Amino acid sequence: MPALPTLLVLDADPPPRLGRLTGRARIAHADETTLAGQLPYADILLVWDFTSRAVRAAWPGEGARPRWVHTASAGVDHLMCPELAASDTVVTNARGVFDQPVAEYVAALVLAMAKDLPRTLHLQERREWRHRESQRVAGTKACVVGSGPIGRAIAKYLKALGVTTAIVGRTPRTGVHGPGDLNRLMARADWVIAAAPLTPDTHHMFDTRRFGVMQPSARFVNVGRGQLVDETALAEALSKRWIAGAALDVFEDEPLTSDSPLWEVPGLIVSPHMSGDTAGWRDELGAQFVELYERWEAGQALKNVVDKQLGYVPGH
């Protein structure tokens, strides 16, 4: 009988659904302190704690390396390092699980801002009845930056709400604008939605210059990665009323500490990186990994394979 493959799981809480692999894999657990020592003995690494940067730190070390790394997240920026990128190891991600939840979350933010819901809740706390006119969402224009499944799901939801929506991606193709159109599309948008992967190209792509081209009535939403945005520039754009509002679900440093000035930037909604996390999401992530494991076990091609140079799963 051949030896069972060793599946090393980087986690704080054990993932659900892995019981299905009983007798089919030797499952070991690692934390940030033990990961480096265990990596040489693992065939597969499951990065369940996707908030951790331990892989990036441990990977360049000595010894053998897993042939397959799966991360229970859409982004892979927290684990990619030059040594992993240069290796033969296959990296897969949780493509698909977050599309609809994140798209719903963006729709919630866009509608809440259009309907002035934060102010309504604030006035309710003060027991003040103050009628205001709100905005119609249908007929507005959006620019979604990020042409992966999440960006496309966001665009689909916005279109269902009657919003004229353009998608911007790295490579222009049918239905997707290239980076050269970004400034022009941002300048006419009522809503700019950031849903791009974090790569050297996208780091701080939303900066003073980009907020400067937006309309004073426009609003900005980030559900991608915190490092897409120059947070200081955004805070300044809001304070100076270059733009009308913004919502951030992701931040350069997470969790945001209580002394961060971002909590109180006027017109900014702060949420704790929760856009994709609907009830049952851990089950879905676990089931998705088990499905990939079964393909790997059967010698079939994996799905959701990340292009390690690009930093995301390329697709149509």
Nearest C-alpha neighbor of 170 from the set 20, 6, 315, 8? 315
CB of 264 to a second copy, least distance (A): 8
CB of 178 to a second copy, least distance (A): 29
Angle, CA of 276, 281 and 287, to the nearest 5°: 130
Clarify whether 225 is annotated catalytic: yes
Task: Single out the catalytic residue among 254, 291, 294, 297.
Answer: 254
Q: Considering only CA atoms, give the Rg of the chain.
A: 21
C-alpha 210/C-alpha 241 separation (Å) is 14
Nearest CB to a second copy, comparing residues 134 and 239? 134
Nearest CB to a second copy, comparing residues 84 and 97? 97
Residues at the site binding a second copy, with contacts judged by CB under 8 A: 100-101, 104-105, 107-109, 111-112, 114-115, 117-118, 120-124, 127-138, 157, 160-162, 254-260, 263, 269-274, 277-281
CB of 137 to a second copy, least distance (A): 5
Q: 217 φ, ψ to 5°? A: -90, -5
Neighbour count for residue 76 (Cβ, 10 Å): 27
DSSP code, position 157: H
Evaluate whether 237 touches 262 at the Cβ level (below 8 Å). Answer: no
Say which residues have a Cβ less than 8 Å from residue 177's Cβ, sequence separation at least 6: 166, 167, 168, 169, 185
Nearest CB to a second copy, comparing residues 3 and 279? 279
Nearest CB to a second copy, comparing residues 88 and 133? 133
CB of 86 to a second copy, least distance (A): 34
Task: Single out the catalytic residue among 70, 78, 225, 231.
Answer: 225
Q: Which residues are catalytic?
A: 225, 254, 273
